[in-house]
Amino acid sequence: MFPFVFGMYDRSPKPIFFLAIPLLTLLNLSMVSQANPHLKKKEPTKSTWVSQTLGQLSLEEKVGQMIMPAFKGVFLNNASPEFLEMEHQIRKNHVGGFILFAGDVYEAAALIDELQCRSKLPLFIASDFERGTNFRIRNTVSFPWNMAIGATRSENWAYLQGRITGQESRALGVNWIFAPDLDVNSNPSNPVINIRSYGEDPQLVANLGAAFVRGAQESGVLATGKHFPGHGDTAVDSHLALPVINADRHRLDTVDLVPFKRAIENHVWSIMAAHMAVPALEPNPQIPATLSSRVLDDLLQNEFGFHGLVVTDSLTMAALADGYWIGDAAVRAVKAGVDVLVDPPIPDVAYQAVLGAVQRGEISQQRLDRSVKKILEAKAWLGLAKKKRVDFAAIRRLVDDPKLQDQAQQMADASITLIRDSNNILPLDVRRIRSADLVLILGRDAQEDTSVFEQELRRRVEFLTINRVSLSTPEAEMEMVLERARKAEVVFCAVFARLVTGTGNVGLSSKLTDWIQRLNRSDKPVVTIALGNPYIIQGFPQVSNYLCTFSNADVSQTAAVKAIFGEIAINGKLPVSIPGIAEFGNGVDRERIDMRIHRSSQEGKTSRELRKRLEESLGRIVGDQIGRKAFPGASLAVGYRGELVCHKAFGKFSYSTNATEVNVETVYDLASLTKVITATTLAMQLFESGQLKLEYPLSRFFPSFTGEGKEKITIKHLLTHTSGLPAHLPFYKDTRGKEAFVQRILSVPLECEPGSKSVYSDLGIILLGDIIEKITGKPLDRLAEERIFKPLGMSHALFKPPTEVRKGIAPTENDPWRGRALQGEVHDENAYAMGEISAHAGLFANSGDLAIFCQMLLNGGVYDHHRVARRSTVERFTSPQDSPPGSRRALGWDTPSEGSSAGSLLSPGAFGHTGFTGTSIWIDPSRELYIILLTNRVNPTRENNAIQEARRQVADSVVRAIEGRNE
């Protein structure tokens, strides 16, 4: 027997009548087009193949078609005992197929292809893909468990899961899946079904099961309903002993049998018989359903009208093997109505026993032919008569498609169910949390795969302490974990209580449940998450917060963290009842936390009053400055406490009377704002990853950069503008290309000792940009797009604007060097000569984009649940470095100083930057305030320097307005 996590491998047969049209364009599987014979009412070619093949088979070959041994999808040398055994089963026993267990994509596909080549007749290749192919095969689309789908109530999700599972299966060479599980999990103590079931409601299970069947079979595989007549109301694991279902016939008809009837109505190809006794159907309690003609022939095939394949569950399971010799069990199963014998412990014994029974007349030739004909009809429907080989080219195209994995993640997201939130703490706002304590409760001493949950939390919580508690954890260590939890800002108690079939264990030991209760008595907020079995709360019923995923799959671990932090709405509903805790259908809804900027016009009276004050005061200031020709036009954005309280445009593109009017969408050349928005932000990210340390010398990246003190220059010197490099040199006059510029800068003599003086230098930031590109191996513009603009939704931010968008960009100077008016071309001459993309200048954006960027920084490095940087990193880079002593420069950023563009009222902890073209941003974290002023003051000439006073007036006016001061 092959025990496995969350579900023994089960198999079941289903009917042959399938009328649904496959989604060929979506699946793009050539094999599928050959695998759907029921697209027409009659298919003479396939009928001919079935009848001719059946007539040509020897008795030995017919019996072999009913045998399905097990194998693993791993590499096997042709001389290995495992491969020779499979070859023996094909050559000597003429087996009709194999059941696939754990493996890898290409190893499994290659082995399947080899087996098909060696077999005279095409083989069934089956597998227990209960939650998709990932249930058995690594690096395939990973789905949550069925109960999670039950929590969504979505037939569409169940259908898609079936369809995607079928698509990947056929690409791998698997043509028969032993799924879906149609058991109604009405017993909370069920040690073998649990989250493998869609839930406890017969109609819910029936609806979702039928949808899965439809999706799977439309993609060209045989689907299997299991475990007939229903394994949901048992407290015994059939891997270990024979369960007995004591329900009466009415209970069976109204609960357990309902999903199977629906599946049969939906033309499921196969049904798997369960190894369990059902006295209401089979009076002899020693005879499991697998061996009962009353269950399989009388009920399933005659009463229910099922004419598809009837298969056994694994014949290795103790529920069967402990009571019957395998040879006897095989014969009894066939006589009871079984068509395929799955995973006999010794295939030769099962084969010889059935062969002998036919030879001596115990099993009639007619009975044998009935099963073999169904087997051949199924293989014809699959298209195996024409194409049985694996299409290896289809694997890369169809397996583990990221788009399909995204759908699987959405399924998991939709399943998250909040059962209890007594103190109303969920969802948590990641902007308000800096540290947390994670306690991983491991239901089994074996190593649990908790890595995804840990990684997802680490991405959101800066300081995370991780503790692992299991049955083997010493008492003293458990006490230490409790003590740490009492000091935490928030505690996450993630319970990984895996259901492992073949162990008989379900839930948690009293040692762990008692400890969880103690943890929840802490005065700190504790969020308890069940990553799997939802019933475990019965062991610690007093917990204040309880979140269920119904699954330990990686997608469910991710979904749980997303739900905790409000990245997704919580709308799941319990697909089961938890006695004493919650009823079927319970679930507390929670909305997604909206971290996007809100516009004050949608808010209350206070915001409207503030907006009015701002518009009046700023309108006067900007209008006056335009009148004085400080700049022809401006776009202004003010954000306060998460609201965009003022977003206005003023003036025109130029001083011409017929010039285009500025609007809030107008894009500006940001000039030196490029330094902080791109180069500094990217440096922050590399700093966090350890790829860029502030103390790194530049000689690490430019080995020849030595002499005259150059070897002393560090990354920090570049960011604080204390490198000793000149502020600016007109290399553009005789140099072209970034590499040439870098070499020119490296050869420039220093003006002072590194660290001794702060001189704002474009040259140093150009070198920083080159270092960033060297570390990442990607160009600066691509990095900025991938790591900043796209995640934040800064849709207008870009380098080197294409011609078609330039008309919406405010023009800058009538440039004497280039001999033309500039619109959409970078104003900075050095940046232009470098190719229009540089770390010091070249970025274009509008005020809306910059509002998003500023709000991200106020949020501590996150916006709309996309984290750009950690809060501690943001704080470090935006704080004065006192280098050299007395300097107010931060890392990349500037801070308020006497006479600066920040005005006189912003807080000492504010930070900002300006751009030569007339742009600026200032951010005041203590006030939750940002001020963005974009102008093209260099139009028509850079000789206009009135912008400094305008910036100061705007900053002071904003502070007065939000604080209600008089002008």
**Is residue 125 a contact partner of residue 171, using CB atoms and an 8 Å limit?**
no
Please, what's the b/e burial string for 550-569 (b: 16 or more CB within 10 A of its CB; e: otherwise)?
A: bbbbbbbbbbbbbbbbbbbb
- 130 beta partners: 132
Structure token digits, residue 234:
């048992």
Residue 865 parent element (H or E): none
Mention every residue, 6+ apart, whose C-beta is less than 8 A from residue 856: 792, 862, 863, 868
Work out whether the CA dihedral 150, 153, 159, 165 comes out positive or negative: negative
Residues 910, 902: Cα–Cα separation, whole Å: 8
Residues 114, 93: Cα–Cα separation, whole Å: 17
Structure token digits, residue 290:
């697998």
**Is residue 224 a contact partner of residue 216, using CB atoms and an 8 Å limit?**
no
- 922 beta partners: 912, 931
Among the listed residues 205, 294, 307, 204, the one whose alpha carbon sits nearest the alpha carbon of residue 249: 294
Residues 822, 807: Cα–Cα separation, whole Å: 11
Please return the burial class of 806, using the count of CB atoms within 10 Å of its CB with bins 0-12, 13-18 and 19+: middle
Mention every residue, 6+ apart, whose C-beta is less than 8 A from residue 204: 150, 153, 198, 575
Please return the burial class of 592, using the count of CB atoms within 10 Å of its CB with bins 0-12, 13-18 and 19+: middle
State in Å, rounded, how far the first CA of the chain is from the last one: 83
Q: Which position has the token pair 């503008």?
A: 721
Among the listed residues 388, 341, 391, 347, the one whose alpha carbon sits nearest the alpha carbon of residue 118: 388
Residues 161, 947: Cα–Cα separation, whole Å: 60
- Report in angstroms the alpha-carbon separations of 686 from 680, 690, 715, 761, 763: 10, 6, 12, 21, 20
Q: Which residues are the active-site residues?
A: 239, 313
**SS3 at position 384:** coil
Structure token digits, residue 6:
């969350």
Among the listed residues 408, 447, 405, 412, the one whose alpha carbon sits nearest the alpha carbon of residue 195: 412
Work out whether the CA dihedral 216, 217, 221, 226 comes out positive or negative: positive
> 3-class secondary structure for 690-758?
CCCCCCCEHHHCCCCCCCCCHHHCEHHHHHHCCCCCCCCCCHHHCCCCHHHHHHHHHCCCCCCCCCCCC
Q: Give the type of residue at 645.
A: V
Among the listed residues 274, 198, 271, the one whose alpha carbon sits nearest the alpha carbon of residue 238: 274
Residues 227, 185: Cα–Cα separation, whole Å: 12
Residues 363, 74: Cα–Cα separation, whole Å: 37
Residues 439, 433: Cα–Cα separation, whole Å: 17
- 228 beta partners: 273
How are beta strands 224-228 and 176-177 bridged, if at all? Answer: unpaired
**Is residue 957 a contact partner of residue 637, using CB atoms and an 8 Å limit?**
no
Residues 109, 389: Cα–Cα separation, whole Å: 10
Structure token digits, residue 630:
């400080």
User: How many CB atoms are located within 10 Å of the residue 515 CB?
Assistant: 23
**SS3 at position 674:** helix
